[in-house]
Amino acid sequence: MSKENNDVATKATAAAAPKKESAVAGSTMTAEQATTMIIAPYVTEKTFTQIEKENKLAFIVADHAGKKQIIEAIRILYEAEATDVNTARTIRGKKAFVRFKAPEGARELATKLGLV
């Protein structure tokens, strides 16, 4: 009987292992998925102030995008490290306010995108 219990436990462990691997593998995002997450940069006078004073840049993002997904999409698309994301739902869609790790990260990315 104990052998049967061991076989059942081994099968249960083996069945659980592929789920963990697929969850880890599913966390990596492709460039195509990243482009569907980040729709466009959002620029107003207020966002210019945020670029200069708070090291933040605003983006319109997909409605289903989560904060961690937004950080990963920014890393993939723009090769910039984001530390913090605040989101808000507005009339224009879901906005993400992204703070960058580098001291001049927002300004550098805005210049690279042709916003400044």
Count how many domains the chain has: 1
Confidence of residue 5 (pLDDT cuts 50, 70, 90): very low
In a domain, 87, yes or no: yes
- pLDDT above 90 for 98: yes
Q: How far is the C-alpha of 111 from the C-alpha of 73, rounded, in Å? A: 19
The β-bridge partners of 85 are 98
Amino acid at site 91: I
In a domain, 55, yes or no: yes
Backbone torsions φ then ψ of 18, nearest 5 degrees: -65, -30
Each residue's pLDDT tens digit, 46-56:
999 999 999 99
> In 1-116, which ranges are continuous DSSP H helix?
2-26, 31-37, 45-54, 67-78, 105-113
Contact status, residue 37 vs residue 63, Cβ threshold 8 Å: no
In a domain, 108, yes or no: yes
Model confidence, pTM? 0.73
* Owning domain of residue 63: 31-113
The β-bridge partners of 41 are 59
CATH of the domain at 64: 3.30.70.330
